Structure 1
Amino acid sequence: MSKKRYLFYISQNYSYAILRPLQKTILARGDEVRWFLAGNEVDDKYLKPSEARLMTIEETIQWQPQAVFVPGNIVPSFIPGVKVSVFHGFGTVKIDGLGRNGHFTIRHCFDLYCTQGPESTEPFQRLAEKHGTFKVVETGWPTLDPLFKPDDSVITKRDDRPVILFCSTFSPRFSCAAAVYDKVKQLSQDNKWRWLVQFHPKMNRDVVEKYKQLENDNLSFVETDDVLPLLKEADVMLCDTSSVLIMFLLQGKPVVTFDNKIGGSHLININKVDDIESALERALTYPPTLLKEIEHYCESMHPNRDGCSSERVLAETDKLIDNGLVGLKRKPLNIIRNYKMRKILGYWKL
């Protein structure tokens, strides 16, 4: 039996960690993976020596991938293979200034959306019925497979102190990094807790540098393309409206949010800087009522916590490869978007 060929089309550095669990599953069954890096916001320094990259669109087309996995919003239609959206995060927090959720914008690029849980599956199923050009299957998010397989990475804590992970998104409208800086600085000078600080890769560099200056025996600033080890190591998270908090909650661990725009009984949400310390202290007690709310929330966001989402994604993708796009309408021509992508990628052949 010939090997199947799967392309990973990425444009951001965080995409490496998103797709590697899927790559591990593909390679384990003897099939092939190639990476294509699109645009100037993704750095090839994060590629491992064992990972194969296709350098040009011509090379990519010649390789003839049977499926293309995309953790972003768009992918060129002129690349061969069924197009599969695996998402770059959870969508419930992605509300713009007009109240719109871009997570559910259909750009007519994908044949299959592999959703994470009922919260995202149901809206996409309604959109699939409306457009008729793609399928939707709730598979779980392959990115999280290592989170639910504790044997994959053993976290050794440096000492017995509770670990607080502070994460923040980059958008000034949603980020709390600037607002809580003085309080984090103050708390990090006390050795009762150990702090890990990790920000979205697009975070304002001035903010990043300020927090780097705080590094001491109690606080480490971590720049990484893989946040999962940090999620495992921490006991409690301090966050804002970043979707990374959902990944943390899926472990059954509490999150303290500062000025969260969505809220909910699964969070300890505060709006005053002076309440941060007491909120973290409460979170560290793991209140049973709060843990029940967290579990209820996680069931709607990502009920499959068996570490086997990669296998489900591949099974659904292979159905499309083997059976074709049976029952789906033709997509709109997407002339303007495809022209823009051709211009960005410098590819004009028909």
Structure 2
Amino acid sequence: MMADYLLFASERYALPILQPLAQALQAAGHGVHAWFVDGAAGAALPPPVRMIGLREAVALRPRAVFSAANWVPTFVTGAKVQLFHGFNVEKRSDQRGHFRVRGLFDLYCTQGPATTAPFQALAAQAGHFAVVETGWPKLDPLFRDDGGAAAHMRAPAGTRPVVMFASTFTERLSAAPHLLDVIAAEVARGDRYWLLTLHPKCPPELFQRYRSLVGPNATFFETEQLVTAQRAADVLLADTTSVVSEFVVQRKPVVTFRNRAPKPHMLDFDDPSLLPAMLERAFAPTLELQQALTAYADAIHPYRDGRSSERVLAATEALLGGELGRLRRKPLSTWLRRLQIRQQLGYWGP
């Protein structure tokens, strides 16, 4: 049965999460519509996804709303499905971070065992949402034919190894300001090729300085090309960004600068001058490091078939079909957040 579905985003980094899901919906013959607000306003997914606004989203009466934000407009009809905008990288406490339940969603589609068990425990306690482990749609392209996109991005490197650099926007955690000079020196040396990017919320002047490194030994890419770059790179240099976890799913080495919660699968350091030595270690990983990478990848995202989007759709249908059990009513304590969402979006209708 054909139905209409709504994709919701409030930041540009949600686009690579929603695009594989849009393709799965289209392949199943459904109507796919997207409503982007705030930081994602003005962005678009490729046709035949139809970009719509607030009034159209309400009138659409979608069968489900898939959100890659930590909130969702509750006044739009349909099941509210949380897809997550990143992995749990422990930037904040569980109560304020990844495992915070805001009372807005009916279904949480978790990425792997490391997040499934905690959310199942929360669901058992709250009773107003269901949890299904599906894997993360954003990573589907990591394990599917990309039409040569990664090879094309890597082509300027020739036979050189490729390093990708990504950084969070959180000022106290960002490596970008601290590593600029040493990265510039590595780029100038030219024995490796660099793929550079920054979180869209990083300061414009930081973007300008990293873009100035572009040349025969480096390129700068945008958020929408993140998955392609992850496929193209051999090693990642980052900080406490969730890109670290995305990259590790491929079982490739990561070097982290002052990670908030360093773990055995990371090569963490705190002195910028140590970067060359850390990269050398990453390009010659020990057996112990390789085993740690595999163990962590299996815990956070064991799926390597590129079909997490299809599992999200199946879980949503199971929810709508009553197969996941009867959910309690959302708690009255969410009324203030619902009111704030209406105020934020300027909607006071039914």
The TM-score, its normalising length taken from structure 1, stands at 0.94
Give the counterpart letter for 2:40 in structure 1: V
Structure 1 counterpart of 2:131, from 127, 130, 136: 136
What is the rounded CA distance, in whole Å, between the counterparts of 2:165 and 2:313 in structure 1? Answer: 34
Aligned residue for 1:316, secondary structure, equals helix
Contact 1:13 1:46 in 2 (8 A): no
Distance 1:92 1:114, change over 3 A: same
What is the rounded CA distance, in whole Å, between the counterparts of 1:12 and 1:62 in structure 2? Answer: 23
2:237 is matched with: 238
Q: Which runs of 5+ in 1 are unaligned?
A: none
What is the rounded CA distance, in whole Å, between the counterparts of 2:66 and 2:325 in structure 1? Answer: 20
Aligned residue for 1:225, secondary structure, equals helix
User: Does residue 189 of the first structure (1) align with residue 188 of the second (2)?
Assistant: yes
Instruction: Give the C-alpha shift of residue 339 in structure 1.
Output: 1.4
2:294 is matched with: 295
2:143 is matched with: 148
Using the aligned pairs only, state the percent identity. 39
2:346 is matched with: 346
Give the counterpart letter for 1:44 in structure 2: G
What whole-Å deviation, never above 9, does each CA across 1:231-280 have from its counterpart, x for those lacking one?
Answer: 01111111111110111111111001111111111111111112110111
Aligned residue for 1:200, secondary structure, equals coil
What whole-Å deviation, never above 9, does each CA across 1:96-135 have from its counterpart, x for those lacking one?
Answer: 6xx8541111110000000001111111111101111000
What is the rounded CA distance, in whole Å, between the counterparts of 1:325 and 1:148 in structure 2? Answer: 29
What is the rounded CA distance, in whole Å, between the counterparts of 2:336 and 2:283 in structure 1? Answer: 51
What is the rounded CA distance, in whole Å, between the counterparts of 1:325 and 1:38 in structure 2? Answer: 31
Structure 2 counterpart of 1:44, from 38, 42, 45: 42
What is the rounded CA distance, in whole Å, between the counterparts of 1:112 and 1:317 in structure 2? Answer: 7
Distance 1:45 1:117, change over 3 A: closer
Q: Report which stretch shifted further, 317-326 or 203-212.
A: 317-326
1:211 is matched with: 210
What is the rounded CA distance, in whole Å, between the counterparts of 2:149 and 2:64 in structure 1? Answer: 33
Q: Report which stretch shifted further, 326-335 or 184-193.
A: 326-335
Q: Report which stretch shifted further, 148-157 or 158-167.
A: 148-157
Structure 2 counterpart of 1:111, from 106, 110, 129: 106
1:17 is matched with: 16
Contact 2:112 2:300 in 1 (8 A): yes
Contact 2:34 2:49 in 1 (8 A): yes
Contact 1:14 1:226 in 2 (8 A): no
Aligned residue for 1:331, secondary structure, equals coil
Distance 1:152 1:110, change over 3 A: farther
Distance 1:152 1:279, change over 3 A: same
Corresponding residue pairs, total: 345
Q: Which runs of 5+ in 2 are unaligned?
A: none
What is the rounded CA distance, in whole Å, between the counterparts of 2:325 and 2:273 in structure 1? Answer: 58
What is the rounded CA distance, in whole Å, between the counterparts of 1:324 and 1:286 in structure 2? Answer: 45
Contact 2:130 2:324 in 1 (8 A): no
Q: CA RMSD in A?
A: 1.7
Structure 2 counterpart of 1:65, from 59, 62, 67: 62
1:55 is matched with: 53
Distance 1:274 1:286, change over 3 A: same
Aligned 1:84-123 pairs, distance under 5 A: 84-95=81-92, 100-123=95-118
What is the rounded CA distance, in whole Å, between the counterparts of 1:113 and 1:242 in structure 2? Answer: 22
Instruction: Give the C-alpha shift of residue 44 in structure 1.
Output: 2.4
Instruction: Give the C-alpha shift of residue 43 in structure 1.
Output: 3.4
Contact 2:9 2:68 in 1 (8 A): yes
1:310 is matched with: 309
Q: Report which stretch shifted further, 142-151 or 231-240.
A: 142-151
1:259 is matched with: 258
User: Does residue 74 of the first structure (1) align with residue 63 of the second (2)?
Assistant: no
What whole-Å deviation, never above 9, does each CA across 1:294-327 have from its counterpart, x for those lacking one?
Answer: 0011111111121111111100101122338742
Aligned residue for 2:50, secondary structure, equals coil
Give the counterpart letter for 1:184 in structure 2: I
Give the counterpart letter for 2:279 in structure 1: L
What is the rounded CA distance, in whole Å, between the counterparts of 1:152 and 1:302 in structure 2? Answer: 24
Contact 1:163 1:196 in 2 (8 A): yes
Instruction: Give the C-alpha shift of residue 139 in structure 1.
Output: 0.7
Structure with more of its chain in helix, by fraction:
2
Instruction: Give the C-alpha shift of residue 66 in structure 1.
Output: 0.7
Give the counterpart letter for 2:132 in structure 1: V
